[in-house]
Amino acid sequence: MESKPELIKPELIELLRNTESVLFLTGAGVSAESGIPTFRDADGIWNKMKPEELANFDAFMKNPDLVWEWYQYRRQIIRESGPNKAHYAIAEFQKYFPDVSVVTQNIDNLHRRAGSETVFELHGNIERSYCIKCHAYYNSPNFTFYDKAPKCLCGGLIRPDVVWFGESLPESEFNQAEKAAQRCGVIFIAGTASVVYPAAQIPFIARRFGACLVEINIGETEISYLADYCLYGRAGDIIPAVLEEVKRVRTAL
């Protein structure tokens, strides 16, 4: 009889048996199987659109309607999609570990929709918008039918509450992400190219504080050299497979 190739090494399973704190750092690849395009893959958004023309504040000021339209297009895709097997498996880790944090670069809200409770959104959330003049917050769904950048009552332009290049990350989300990296026993780095900072710093912090680094990706990335284990394959296949091992060696809380 042919034996199954060993995907998850026994030493990693042993570590998962004995760890209380787990962190998932996620990127666009985790939402790819929900039908949401990634940024830098062959069929990524930025192969069709020039990022420098769209994902920065100057571009928005130069052509607010075009940038707004791009986000409306993406909101539509996100609304019509839903969490996939990877998001649901990540949420299920909460049953088996007392401390599970999700630090995500994604703006699509799919981790929360899947049931993850401790989610730190480093690059914002497309479902929120705010006025660039008075900083009033709005729910983006209120603008469903706007194909041009809407204006606030104060006359200021309304932009999506996402982090563009050159902008600071939300301080409290990043601080909490750092703390989660400092205390976790295992960090899963899933579906990210690990090229955008400061999010890409998180695995280095986890490593400095002694965590085991597990990369989950369809291919090698900038961070692979640092990882203790690289599990290559689709997040929607690999994360549920890791969860199965967790279920085997840990009892539900």
- Contact between 158 and Zn ion (CB under 5 A)? no
Considering only residues 17-36, where is the footprint of ligand BJW by CB under 6 A? 27-29, 32-33
Kindly tell me which of 136 and 249 has the beta carbon lying closer to Zn ion.
136
Residue 64 C-beta: closest distance to Zn ion, Å: 14
Q: Which of 172, 185, 243 is nearest to 211 (CA)?
A: 185
234 binds, among ligand BJW, Zn ion, none (CB under 5 to 8 A by kind): ligand BJW
Minimum CB–partner distance for residue 30 and Zn ion (Å): 34
Among 37, 44, 150, 156, indicate the residue that binds Zn ion (CB under 5 A).
156
What secondary structure, in 3-state letters, does the chain show?
A: CCCCCCCCCHHHHHHHHHCCEEEEEECHHHHHCCCCCCCCCCCCHHHCCCHHHHCCHHHHHHCHHHHHHHHHHHHHHHHHCCCCHHHHHHHHHHHCCCEEEEEECCCCCHHHHHCCCCEEECCEEEEEEEECCCCCEEEHHHHCCCCCCCECCCCCEEEEEECCCCCCCCHHHHHHHHHHHHHCCEEEEECCCCCCCCHHHHHHHHHHCCCEEEEEECCCCCCHHHCCEEEECCHHHHHHHHHHHHHHHCCCC
CA 154, CA 147: separation in Å to the nearest integer?
Answer: 20
- Given a contact cutoff of 8 angstroms between Cβ atoms, the answer to whether 161 and 135 are in contact is no
Nearest-CB residue for ligand BJW? 29
Catalytic residue flag (residue 123): yes
Closest to ligand BJW by CB, 39 vs 188, is 39
Per-position x/- string for 106-145, each x denoting binding to ligand BJW as judged by CB under 6 A, each - no binding: -x---------------x----------------------
Q: Binding to ligand BJW by residue 242, rule CB under 6 A?
A: no
Residue with tokens 């204006």: 151
221: contact with ligand BJW by CB under 6 A? yes
The yes or no reply on residue 137 touching Zn ion (CB under 5 A) is: no
Among 34, 72, 101, 105, binds ligand BJW (CB under 6 A): 105
Strands 212-217 and 229-232: parallel
Q: Is 165 in the site for ligand BJW (CB under 6 A)?
A: yes
Shortest gap between Cβ of 58 and Zn ion (angstroms)? 20
Residues 48-107 that bind Zn ion (CB under 5 A): none
Residue 17 Cβ vs ligand BJW, minimum distance, rounded to whole Å: 25
Which residues are the active-site residues?
Answer: 123
Binding residues for ligand BJW (CB under 6 A) = 27-29, 32-33, 38-41, 44, 55, 105, 107, 123, 162-168, 191-193, 195-198, 217-219, 221, 234-235
